[in-house]
Amino acid sequence: MSVLRYRFALHERRITLLTAICVFLLVVFGGLAILSNVIVLPADLSAYVVFAYILALIGFVFLMPMLYFQYSYARAGLWIEPDRLRVQYPGEKEQQMEWAEARFAVDEGEDYLRASKGKEGLGHLIGKTRFVRLHLEGMWPQQRAAVEQAIAAHVEVRHPRLFTLITLLNTQGELVARGRLYLFENHLLCTENRGEKRVFFYAPFKDLRSVKQRASFYVGKLECEAFNLQYKDSTYVIMLGYETTISNTLGNSSHWSVTGSASEWVEALLSIQTTGDYR
């Protein structure tokens, strides 16, 4: 079986467009600024010369990181090999997982991709204790379909009944991780969204205990509903609120948002347990 490589063509196109704009600013307005040193211009055009210098400087400043990203994306991609899957995404360490370790793959769906604007990632390969982030948000729809088809030759690709971003807490209300919660046909999956990419639990519905809504948490005036559940010897507190952190040249900023209704999740879990609808 041959090795299949898929590039992050959608993101790469955006970087190429930004690079072209930076080159345009640098060449056109930089050329005008240099030309002003050769040709004597009327005094009333001096303000335009200063403006040309500023635009050329902006083009140069942003061109450097864009060229770095161009280089990074040229080396990046998702590789499907006979014995494993590898992902190299710009700015991240290479991820890989043997097919023997993988349980299944998850596709959160196009609706989630549009709602999140690609900020939280789309597509994951789930193992027993960890997962690989596929970064399908960086590809065109045709590429995503081709990747899913290729992955399906090795493991099942699942689409969750319910899915949301969460904050996972312990029974003392202390932060454990920012996570992702999936409701499948007969299992509930909770994973870490960032950091070490851990799988916290993959629980059959029949083994869940004490699923019930609890008091909400408040972040300022924002109310985030929550529920508890027990699986094996552990009690998990699921807070349906999520903090998104954005990094930029000025530093980090974050904001909280409500990510679901506790009653919806509790009712869904209890109804499946009661009816035994494990399709």
Strand 157-158 relative to strand 102-106, pairing = parallel
In this structure, the number of other CB atoms found within 10 A of the CB of residue 174 comes to 8
Say if CB 200 and CB 178 are below 8 A apart.
Answer: no
Q: Which residues contact 158 (CB under 8 A, 6 or more apart)?
A: 104, 105, 106, 107, 184, 185
Say if CB 211 and CB 231 are below 8 A apart.
Answer: no
Q: What pLDDT shows up at residue 15?
A: 93
Q: What pLDDT shows up at residue 251?
A: 62
Q: What pLDDT shows up at residue 278?
A: 41
| Alpha-carbon distances of 218 from 225, 228, 272, rounded to whole Å | 9, 16, 30
Span between the terminal Cα atoms of the chain, in Å: 33
**DSSP character at residue 119:** S
Q: How far apart are CA 34 and CA 254, in angstroms?
A: 42
Q: What pLDDT shows up at residue 1?
A: 64
Q: How far apart are CA 155 and CA 99, in angstroms?
A: 8
In this structure, the number of other CB atoms found within 10 A of the CB of residue 257 comes to 13
Q: Which amino acid is at 148?
A: E
Q: Give burial (CB, 10 Å; 0-12/13-18/19+) of 189.
A: buried
Residue 209, H or E segment: strand 208-219
The DSSP bridge partners found for residue 231 are 208, 234
Q: What pLDDT shows up at residue 206?
A: 85
pLDDT in tens, the chain (279 residues): 689 999 999 999 999 999 999 999 999 888 877 777 766 556 556 667 788 888 899 999 999 999 999 999 999 999 999 999 999 999 889 999 999 999 999 998 888 777 766 666 789 999 999 999 999 999 999 999 999 999 999 999 999 999 999 999 988 888 888 899 999 988 999 999 878 899 999 999 888 888 899 999 999 899 999 999 998 888 999 999 998 877 655 567 778 899 999 999 999 888 865 555 544
